[in-house]
Amino acid sequence: MIADKMKGMVANSSAIRAMFEEGTRMAAQYGAENVYDFSLGNPNVPAPASVKKAIVELLDEEDPVVLHGYTNSNSGYADVRQTVADSLNRRFGTSFAGKNIIMTVGAAGGLNVILKTLLNPGDEVITFAPYFGEYRSYTNNYDGVLVEISPDTETFQPKLDEFRAKITPKTKAVIVNTPNNPTGVVYSEETIKKMAAILEEKQKEYGTDIYLISDEPYRELVYDGVEVPWLTKYYANTIVGYSYSKSLSLPGERIGYLVIPDEVTDSETVLSAANVATRILGFVNAPTLQQKVVAKCIGEETDISFYNRNRETLYSGLKDCGFTCIKPEGAFYLFVKSPVADEKAFCAEAKKYHILLVPGSSFGCPGYVRIAYCVSYETIVNSLPKFRELARQYF
Ligand code: PLP
């Protein structure tokens, strides 16, 4: 018999994955071109050509025993960590050393490492709805308690009064995700400054340490020159989790990193505990070939114009049909208001038109649906008449 805790997790298992599997089944039945699968954030843009080049060069040139071996440190290759630190320092005017970087198995691996490192059972982790639903599972993995801040559906910026009110002596961490999945909203500098001030105030009031975890796999996926604040500059107890899954279209390769700055409380202890967490969670170390690949490709970017074209076409197309949605400034998601309160019923209706959407309740925000527009442009264009037919039922 499986563990009781796991039973709960299986019961709440990801609606996104379920929808994706449904999409694969429908594509086999109706033909892929007749299914508009907007369920999963699986980039449709190929990785930059430099990624393939780097892989080939590494396979040709590196000692295979080293290239495919365990790394000396569970935190990753020293030269790769230094390359990442140097790149961040150039971009953000910071002064990280290689030791501040821990290479991880994507953002998911990084979040699990840091939550394992920080949480005692019963510790609270705050996040802002709508949020990436896996935060609940990751927190639960370490017997933490996820505390949600309700969504501000006007702006989808964090509700800071509610945030202040919900911080308790048990609050150990706050997870923010900007650019945001599922809204595409970027938290403004003003929001971040206010959030930092609240965290400082509460740390003083309770005499505790509250770690701000910035989960940012979409950092470079921004439009119209929008700036994404670099959070370690605003609040000392900030840990950054990054991933190349979206920025280099490498989600299956499972590669990313954590930044644990010296300014973080007990930085040395946190760093060495995160190193151990990487090992004992069973990751042992982040994939070695991919560590070398991302170091070689540092500074490379995905083709943002591809996503931008999808964003503009879908956003204006949906608005023309009568749907309401905040225009995303980043990532590759649209978060659309469901025309009926029960958004799951709306998703079921959309499925009749072969349009696959994810209900907002998967992100702690019922009444909305998420559209992942990291699909081909043809899928976007061909889906619009279907959206129009669907909309006719409601508007
Ligand atoms: N965090 C957010 C906000 C995400 O949207 C995702 C993936 O979609 C992840 C983390 C996990 O990303 P990774 O593939 O790097 O583990």
* pLDDT of the chain, 395 residues: tens digit per residue: 999 999 888 887 766 677 778 888 999 999 999 999 999 999 999 999 999 999 999 999 999 999 999 999 999 999 999 999 999 999 999 999 999 999 999 999 999 999 999 999 999 999 999 999 999 999 999 999 999 999 999 999 999 999 999 999 999 999 999 999 999 999 999 999 999 999 999 999 999 999 999 999 999 999 999 999 999 999 999 999 999 999 999 999 999 999 999 999 999 999 999 999 999 999 999 999 999 999 999 999 999 999 999 999 999 999 999 999 999 999 999 999 999 999 999 999 999 999 999 999 999 999 999 999 999 999 999 999 999 999 999 99
- Report whether residue 106 contacts ligand 1, using a CB cutoff of 6 Å: yes
Select from 214, 239, 246, 212 the least CA-distant residue to 330. 246
Q: 281 and 370 share a domain?
A: no
Please give the tally of structural domains in the chain. 2
Q: 68 and 146 share a domain?
A: yes
Grouping H, G, I as helix, E, B as strand and the rest as coil, residue 325 is strand
Atom of ligand 1 nearest to the CA of 251: 14
Q: How far is the CA of 139 from the centre of ligand 1 (A)?
A: 15
- Report whether residue 108 contacts ligand 1, using a CB cutoff of 6 Å: yes
Q: What's the full length of the chain, in residues?
A: 395
Sign of CA dihedral 112, 109, 192, 154: negative
Grouping H, G, I as helix, E, B as strand and the rest as coil, residue 149 is strand
- Report whether residue 181 contacts ligand 1, using a CB cutoff of 6 Å: yes
Shortest-distance Cα residue to atom 8 of ligand 1: 41
Q: How far is the CA of 9 from the centre of ligand 1 (A)?
A: 18
Q: 202 and 346 share a domain?
A: no
Alpha carbons 337 and 326: distance in angstroms, whole number: 9
Last residue of some domain: 296, 321, 344?
296
Q: In this structure, what CATH number is given to the domain that contains residue 213?
A: 3.40.640.10
Q: How far is the CA of 217 from the centre of ligand 1 (A)?
A: 6
Per-residue CA distances from 389 to 116, 375, 383 (Å): 47, 21, 10
Last residue of some domain: 250, 279, 296?
296
Q: How far is the CA of 322 from the centre of ligand 1 (A)?
A: 30
Q: How far is the CA of 334 from the centre of ligand 1 (A)?
A: 16
With the most atoms of ligand 1 within 8 angstroms of its CB, the residue from 245, 283, 332, 373 to mutate is 245
Grouping H, G, I as helix, E, B as strand and the rest as coil, residue 128 is strand
Q: 86 and 216 share a domain?
A: yes
- Report whether residue 130 contacts ligand 1, using a CB cutoff of 6 Å: no
Q: 387 and 276 share a domain?
A: no
Q: Which domain holds residue 373?
A: 4-48+302-391
Q: 65 and 192 share a domain?
A: yes
